[in-house]
Amino acid sequence: MRADGTGTSPAVPAGAPGGALMGGARTVLGLGREDRREHLRGLPSGLAIRLYSAMTHLRAFDERAVILQRQGVIGTYPTYFGEEAVQAASVLALEDRDWLFPTYRQTAVVTLRDCPSVVPLLLWRGHPGGWHDVMRYRVAPICIPVATNYPHAVGAAWGARLRHEGWVALAYGGDGSTSAGDFHEACNLAAVVQAPVIFLVTNNQWAISTPIVKQTRVPRLAEKAAAYGMPGVRVDSFDVFACYEVIQEAAERARRGGGPTLVEAVGYRLGPHGTADEPSVYRDPRADLLWAPMEPLGRTEAAVVEAGVAAPEQLLELRSRAFQELRDVGDRLGELPLPSVEELADSVHRDTPWPLRPERLYEPSWARLEQTPPWS
């Protein structure tokens, strides 16, 4: 990869959605037909299918979650429609021993590490069974306060480096999160200590209703990396192959002791911010139409078929299996019994202190035990 962040593949050609907006972003799907076919055929055997399969799973999860929200089975839900490519690539480009630090937007990446889909769905159903096993999957709990997960990834990665363990950490975030102080502190610290960490910022140009121009005067977020002394790379967020390539390069550099990388996966938020959001209030729906062709699953499918890497029937089979699986999961969501408040209280500390013990959770003893207060 060259120092300016462009690599073996050229930038998105002018005329792609957003034009200059995606300038300098690594692409594979945007290559000429022959180059694209060659690239896909040159991938390690089965990789294209695995990426596609991971994307279908993420899509099936997301669509099912939106349906379940409409049915009132789960609460408000932050759809990631359109971010399947970058998310699938982020998990597959890393090793299973690498740690992931997701936000609300990457609620399902843990399912690409074999966590059952029912688990993150339960979280949005407001059930504590939705907290996945952090150590087993090496995926941190999702972070909702924007940018707070960046320093965690830095610390974890720094720990890996101090102990020469050879794994890396990846933190997710959005364009809006780069305005927050924790992003700055994390980037700076990571570079100073050369932590093996990847900051994967998906620039979908919107933070709820706030466009990127109100977020920063540096619309190419990857350029911010220079201020910290680390490489910054732009990649087409809808291009699973380019994302895979860029993230894998960053991970390899980190493993070799080359420190952190800021990866800006640039694109557009194809859906609403979440199920409670109404984008037409704040953005021109015509822009959605311009970007619609970038929808990553269809794009990947077309390229894979065109390159002869997989047959359409095979892809269809993968898709329908994923959707069927998620439908079954949705049907089972209501089955898990709710823990009692006493059990919840017992999960806050290792050694549960008295205010959280069952007999103390409610009002003082005389009220709870229905004893007569001494002065009555």
Partner 1 sequence: MVEAIGRALAQVLADDADALLMGEDIGVNGGVFRATAGLQQRFGDDRVIDTPLAEAGFVGAAIGMAMVGLHPIVEIQFDAFVYPAFQQLVAQAGRFRWRTQGKYGLPLVIRLPYGGGTRAPELHSDSPEALFSHMPGLRVVIPSDPQSAGELLLAATRCGDPVIFMEPKRMYRRGRQEVFAEFSAGDLEAAAIVRQGGDLTLVAYGAMVEVALAAADELAADGVAARVLDLRSIYPLDRDQLLAAARDTGRVVVVQEAPRHCGVAGEVAALLQEEAADAMLAPTLRVTGMDMPFPLFQSEDQALPSVPRVLAAARAAMDY
Ligand X SMILES: Cc1ncc(C[n+]2csc(CCOP(=O)(O)OP(=O)(O)O)c2C)c(N)n1
Which positions touch partner 1 (CB under 8 A)?
99, 101, 128-129, 131, 133-135, 140-141, 143, 145, 148, 150-160, 162-163, 169, 181-182, 184-186, 188-189, 192, 344, 346-351, 353-355, 364-365, 374-375
Please report whether residue 175 would count as binding Mg ion according to CB under 5 A.
yes
Phi and psi at 8, nearest 5°, equal: -65, -30
CB of 145 to ligand X, least distance (A): 4
Indicate the residue type of 208.
Answer: I
Q: Answer with the entry of Mg ion, ligand X, partner 1, none that 146 interacts with (C-beta below 5 to 8 A by kind).
A: ligand X
Q: Answer with the entry of partner 1, ligand X, Mg ion, none that 150 interacts with (C-beta below 5 to 8 A by kind).
A: partner 1
Alpha helix segments (H runs only) across the chain: 33-41, 47-70, 84-92, 118-124, 134-137, 149-162, 181-192, 225-228, 240-255, 285-291, 296-306, 312-332, 341-345, 365-368
CB of 218 to Mg ion, least distance (A): 15
Task: Tell me which of 41, 136, 282, 327 is the catalytic residue.
Answer: 282
Residue (298 or 364) nearer to partner 1, CB: 364
Q: Answer with the entry of Mg ion, partner 1, ligand X, none that 169 interacts with (C-beta below 5 to 8 A by kind).
A: partner 1
CB of 341 to partner 1, least distance (A): 13
Q: Answer with the entry of partner 1, Mg ion, ligand X, none that 340 interacts with (C-beta below 5 to 8 A by kind).
A: none
# binding residues, Mg ion (CB under 5 A): 4
Phi and psi at 184, nearest 5°, equal: -60, -50
Q: Residue 184: how many CB atoms within 10 A of its CB?
A: 16
Contact residues for ligand X (CB under 6 A)? Answer: 105, 144-146, 173-177, 204, 206-208, 269, 273
d(CA 109, CA 224): 26
d(CA 28, CA 235): 10
Please report whether residue 236 would count as binding Mg ion according to CB under 5 A.
no
CB of 338 to partner 1, least distance (A): 13
- DSSP per position, 198-219: EEEEEE-SEETTEEGGGT-S-S
CB of 222 to Mg ion, least distance (A): 15
Residue (187 or 318) nearer to ligand X, CB: 187
Residue (28 or 146) nearer to partner 1, CB: 146
Q: Which of 18, 155, 174, 232 binds Mg ion (CB under 5 A)?
A: 174
Please report whether residue 204 would count as binding Mg ion according to CB under 5 A.
yes
Clarify whether 2 is annotated catalytic: no
Work out the burial of residue 305: count CB atoms within 10 Å of its CB; fewer than 13 is exposed, 13-18 middle, 19 or more buried.
middle
Task: Tell me which of 253, 269, 299, 319 is the catalytic residue.
Answer: 269
**Which of these, 88, 89, 118, 87, lies nearest to 104 by C-alpha position?**
87
CB of 69 to Mg ion, least distance (A): 20
Residue (173 or 330) nearer to ligand X, CB: 173
Residue (146 or 318) nearer to ligand X, CB: 146
Task: Tell me which of 125, 273, 299, 319 is the catalytic residue.
Answer: 273
Q: Are 347 and 341 in contact (CB under 8 A)?
A: no
Give the chain's radius of gyration (CA, Å): 22
- The helix (run of H) or strand (run of E) holding residue 42 is none
Q: Answer with the entry of ligand X, Mg ion, partner 1, none that 358 interacts with (C-beta below 5 to 8 A by kind).
A: none
3-state helix, strand, coil split of the chain in percent (to 5) is 50, 10, 40
Clarify whether 269 is annotated catalytic: yes
**Which of these, 41, 44, 17, 47, lies nearest to 30 by C-alpha position?**
17
Q: Answer with the entry of ligand X, Mg ion, partner 1, none that 152 interacts with (C-beta below 5 to 8 A by kind).
A: partner 1
Q: Are 80 and 273 in contact (CB under 8 A)?
A: no
CB of 323 to partner 1, least distance (A): 29
Alpha helix segments (H runs only) across 27-170: 33-41, 47-70, 84-92, 118-124, 134-137, 149-162
Residue nearest to ligand X (CB): 174
